[in-house]
Homo-oligomer: A and B are copies of this chain.
Amino acid sequence: MDLSELKFHRTNGESLYDQLVNALESAIEEGGLAPGARLPSERELANSLKLSRTTTTNAYRELESRGVLRRHVGRGTFVCATPEPDEIPFAWRGKVSATALRSTNPALRNLMQDGVDPAVISLALGGPALECFPTAEFRRIYEQILKREPHAALGHGPTEGQPRLRRMLAARIGTRSDRILVVAGSQQGLDLLAKCLVDPGDAVIVDRPCYLGAIQTFRAAGARLVGWDIRRCDLGELEDLILRYRPKMIYTNPTFQNPTGHTLGLGERRELLKLVARYRVPLVEDDTYRDLYLDAPAPPSLRQLDEYNVVIYLSTFSKTLAPGLRLGWIAASEVIVDQLAMLKQNTDMYSPCLTQLAIAEILHCGLFDENLRKLRDEHTRRRDALVSAVERYVPQRALSYTRPQGGAYLWCRLSRGLTTARLLPQAKAMGMVFASGEVFYCDEAGAHHLRLCFTSSNVEQLEEGSRRLGKALEACAAAGSPERFSVTVV
């Protein structure tokens, strides 16, 4: 086949690049170009087709990436006739370490993937109303920083974080900047804390139910997890657990908790601090949702109330600005910040400089607080929309929940019998997903719970998502299973 005969439209909106890729792929599929055939060089093809060299080069590369073409250095580009070396058998699975085999639960990654399909309304993933994000101002800030200090933005930076950002964060929570470590989202914070405080086999007490990412990361560090029911907040029980398991760390998310939305009261906070201080157990406070109150601010953080120097504080910009920025921070004693920085240098050296400088500026110029006010308004609207849509579309008494006062989630219990394992495939078939309850438990519980995020979807999506959830619930009921709906009280 003579490739110089290929025809291109310069007007119909499809790029020349796409047209070339498609034309070549068709020629190969239809046999015009046989396996093993050598293609003209990028330059020759560009000349004969009057295309730019970039277009032909990128087209060849795209087809290589699809496994259709193969470039042999010094020989040229060929239509693939032989399998790629990656298909040559090598027992890679047998090379995986025992350490890595502790990380085989793909729940977190799967949640990310479900969020990507545009046909599916995902109420599974947590995130703020990105529509409020000050995109224009953010662009301006990026531009200013890149203009004013390109070296600081693009060059190496200190492992602990950009000094300016550390100062701003320290000021916000009333500490010194050498007690702040900037991390790549709260997830990295949890990972570093687990490495810093926990050896394989050590016990860690976590909320029950608990933020999924914490469960997975602590498990990957080899921790034995013990759940403590944060809603019941029975401190006698916690003391028993401490005595029995001798935990190396307690992890809690006491304010608009993920997934339950629950907030510990002031008295409970003081008693909790007193207890862990008595047993000298480090208390990791995940304060991700504090600024996202809807009806009224939460009580002071454990850190603010800590008279014993026993709290390590963790927060993130994922829920207050944007998750895609991947930036969070830890406040802790200098000894711990120093050790965490030592671990971070080996993990990713330091967090991206430009993002850090941009967030420091967002904090400094008041844009952060302004965005919080907008988010609170919008999230309140969305919470109300989800609750009323659930009331409207979900069969009576099929779900029970507590109206959240902040955070991002509606934590629901299915009526007796119905499991999310049965409901989720139905929901997916209807075009919506939620987060299944089991992933939030470090034991075998949660089969009848589900988490709906009300912040990251707009009102229309929340309504349509609820309608689809309602249909899925009806479908489960109609399937005539033994799991008929019945009244439940949480």
Residues in chain B near residue A84, CB distance under 8 A: 175-176
Interface residues of A in 190-227 (CB under 8 A from B): 191, 195-200, 202, 213, 216-217, 220-221
B349 adjacent to A112 (CB under 8 Å): yes
Residues in chain B near residue A309, CB distance under 8 A: 85-90, 92
Q: Which of A70, A220, A248, A350 has the largest count of B CB atoms less than 10 A from its CB? A: A350
Task: Give CA–CA (A135, B280) in the complex, Å.
Answer: 50
Does any Cβ of B come within 8 Å of A241's Cβ?
no
CB distance from A193 to the nearest CB of B (A): 10
Does any Cβ of B come within 8 Å of A345's Cβ?
yes
Does any Cβ of B come within 8 Å of A417's Cβ?
no
Does any Cβ of B come within 8 Å of A188's Cβ?
yes
B348 adjacent to A188 (CB under 8 Å): yes
Task: Give CA–CA (A128, B253) in the complex, Å.
Answer: 42
For the complex formed by this chain, how many copies does it contain in all?
2
Interface residues of A in 315-339 (CB under 8 A from B): 321-326, 332-336, 339
Chain A window 146-166, contacts with chain B (Cβ cutoff 8 Å), 1 for yes, 0 for no: 110011111111110000000
Residue among B58, B97, B155, B197 making CB contact with A127, cutoff 8 Å: B155
* Complex: chain B residue closest to A66, CB-CB: B176
A130 adjacent to B109 (CB under 8 Å): no
Task: Give CA–CA (A196, B325) in the complex, Å.
Answer: 26
Does any Cβ of B come within 8 Å of A347's Cβ?
yes
Task: Give CA–CA (A220, B282) in the complex, Å.
Answer: 23
Check A352/B335 contact, CB under 8 A, given A65-B176, A115-B156: no
Check A342/B103 contact, CB under 8 A, given A93-B335, A97-B202, A324-B352: yes
Check A95/B248 contact, CB under 8 A, given A333-B86, A346-B187, A350-B326: yes
Check A185/B150 contact, CB under 8 A, given A66-B176, A139-B142, A174-B64: no
Does any Cβ of B come within 8 Å of A39's Cβ?
no
Residues in chain B near residue A341, CB distance under 8 A: 109
Residue among B158, B343, B354 making CB contact with A116, cutoff 8 Å: B158
Does any Cβ of B come within 8 Å of A143's Cβ?
yes
Interface size of A as a range: 35 or more
Does any Cβ of B come within 8 Å of A416's Cβ?
no
Does any Cβ of B come within 8 Å of A262's Cβ?
no
Task: Give CA–CA (A307, B70) in the complex, Å.
Answer: 14
A349 adjacent to B187 (CB under 8 Å): yes
Does any Cβ of B come within 8 Å of A48's Cβ?
no
Does any Cβ of B come within 8 Å of A374's Cβ?
no
Chain A window 430-474, contacts with chain B (Cβ cutoff 8 Å), 1 for yes, 0 for no: 000000000000000000000000001000000000000000000
Interface residues of A in 97-111 (CB under 8 A from B): 97-100, 103-106, 108-109
Does any Cβ of B come within 8 Å of A167's Cβ?
yes
CB distance from A465 to the nearest CB of B (A): 16
Task: Give CA–CA (A66, B220) in the complex, Å.
Answer: 37
Residues in chain B near residue A113, CB distance under 8 A: 158
Does any Cβ of B come within 8 Å of A45's Cβ?
no
* Complex: chain B residue closest to A343, CB-CB: B103
Residues in chain B near residue A353, CB distance under 8 A: 324
A184 adjacent to B348 (CB under 8 Å): yes
Does any Cβ of B come within 8 Å of A308's Cβ?
yes
The 5 A-B pairs with the shortest beta carbon distances in the complex, nearest first, are A61-B171, A154-B322, A324-B353, A65-B170, A65-B171
* Seed contacts A108-B345, A220-B346; 5 additional CB < 8 Å A-B pairs: A65-B174, A103-B343, A142-B142, A325-B352, A347-B347
23 sample A-B contacts, Cβ–Cβ < 8 Å, listed by A number = A64-B174, A65-B167, A65-B170, A86-B175, A86-B179, A88-B308, A88-B309, A96-B339, A97-B198, A99-B200, A103-B339, A103-B343, A103-B345, A109-B158, A116-B157, A127-B155, A135-B147, A154-B322, A155-B322, A184-B348, A220-B346, A326-B350, A326-B352
